[in-house]
Amino acid sequence: MILFLSMYLVTVLGNLLIILAATSDSHLHTPIYFFLCNLSLADVSFISITVPKMIVDIITHSTVISCAGCLTQMSLFITSGRMDDFILIVMAYDRFVAICHPLHYQVIMNPCCCGILLLLSFVASLFNSLLFNFMVLQVTCFKRAEISNFFCEPTQLLNLTCSETLRSDIVTYIVSIIYGFLPLSGILFSYYKIVSSILRFPSPGGRYKAFSTCGSHLTVVCLFYGTGIGVYLSSAFFSSAGKVALASLMYSVVTPMLNPFIYSLKNRDMNRAMCIVFKKTVLLPTLCYAFGPGGKGQQT
């Protein structure tokens, strides 16, 4: 329990620190950091849906959840996870425009466009969540059902079938292609165009700088999709409950926890902004004590 609580606190504090740093530093008021703040919010929501309930279950020694509670948890989990997915796509598009069309970047990635992209991401995520809820209610038998995981994982709920599921399987595969393969293809195509443009840069320094602006995002993409694919492969090919739960733990807990470290360690601007915020939060209580009412610095 201590381990999971520590991971949860590190994830929440790390992502909130990214949001605070990006909003407090005027140099980071750009589209890429706007999407990064929303990615951090999605990560906080993503891990808050599963870990607190798991900690409560460990304390109370109870793993029972109601049907409505299970559907609510699954719905919020899918919405937050898809928000992560779509924001990563939008961030890849932002990097594509910044590197391949730098002169038109401010025009294309204007505040209105950024807001529309974020809204479309949320609507698409919510629609995917409602669609999964509909499919689960159609084919799942919840009576005394047991799930070999620490939360209501969508693929395992769909396996609790009580009728013929051919239609549901077809819909599931179509949805997986639309929400999984197509977004990943979009990211890969964006980076194909980015790499092609970078290789045409005349100076090695310019190529290195361009690659460094994409390093953090590309690392997060690999981590997110790698663990996500691992969850679905483990559910499909492994019958061991431990392996499925471990893959889900990597996807839903470890990935959101590592994102703040990736963006702070591999991004010089974010690292500088986070250091400024940290210094302010450490020094401010000391200054308030020294110069506030009753402090040593108070004039008599």
Within-domain flag for 299: no
Crossing angle, helix 111-139 and helix 67-100, to 10 degrees? Answer: 150
Mean pLDDT of 3-19: 86
**Helix, strand, coil tally for the chain in percent (to 5):** 80, 0, 20
DSSP state of 141: -
Tokens of 206: 């310019």
Residue range 150-171: average pLDDT?
A: 67
Question: Does the pLDDT value for residue 143 go beyond 70?
Answer: no
- Quickly state the pLDDT bin for 287 (edges 50, 70, 90): very low
Give the three-state DSSP class for 130. Answer: helix
Q: Please state, in angstroms and as integers, the Cα–Cα distance from residue 177 to each residue in 116, 125, 205, 230, 232, following that order.
A: 24, 14, 39, 16, 13
pLDDT the model gives residue 118: 93
CB-based contacts of 271, cutoff 8 Å, min separation 6: 264, 265
User: Closest Cα to residue 142, out of 65, 77, 72?
Assistant: 65
Domain assignment present for residue 285? The answer is no
What angle separates helix 255-265 from helix 31-48, to the nearest 10 degrees? 150
Domain limits at 198?
Answer: 2-266
Confidence of residue 298 (pLDDT cuts 50, 70, 90): very low
Query: In this predicted model, what pLDDT tens digit does every residue of 181-225 receive, in sequence order?
Result: 788 888 888 888 888 888 887 777 777 777 777 777 788 888 877
CA distance 255 to 47: 9
Nearest to 155 by CA among 84, 235, 221: 235
Residue 39 within any structural domain of the chain: yes
- pTM value? 0.81
Asked if the model's pLDDT at residue 152 lies above 90, the reply is no
pLDDT computed for residue 260 by the predictor: 80
Tens digit of each residue's pLDDT (9 = 90 or more) over 130-142:
888 877 777 666 6
Calpha distance 205→211 (Å, rounded): 10
List, for residues 85-119, the tens digit of each pLDDT value: 899 899 999 989 988 888 888 999 999 999 999 99
Q: Domain count for the chain, please give it.
A: 1
Q: Is residue 292 part of a domain?
A: no
Note the pLDDT of residue 297: 46
CA pseudo-torsion sign 80, 84, 85, 90: positive
Mean pLDDT of all residues in 267-295: 61
Phi, psi of 140, rounded to the nearest 5 degrees: -95, 140
Percent of the chain with pLDDT over 70: 74
Annotate 204-273 with three-state secondary structure: HHHHHHHHHHHHHHHHHHHHHHHHHHHHHHHHHHCCCHHHHHHHHHHHHHHHHHHHHHHHHHCCHHHHHH
In a domain, 11, yes or no: yes
Name 253's bridge partners: none
Q: Among 11-15, 18-22, 33-37, 285-289, where is mean pLDDT lowest?
A: 285-289
In a domain, 280, yes or no: no
- Domain membership of residue 173 (yes or no) is yes
**Within a 13 Å sphere around the CA of 137, how many CA atoms are in the beta-carbon half?**
11
CATH of the domain at 177: 1.20.1070.10
How far separated are the first and last CA of the chain, in Å rounded? 52
* Residue 242 scores a pLDDT above 80: no
In a domain, 190, yes or no: yes
Query: What value, to the nearest 5°, has the Cα angle with vertex 73 and ends 161 and 139?
Result: 15
Report the pLDDT value the prediction gives residue 291, as an integer from 0 to 100: 45
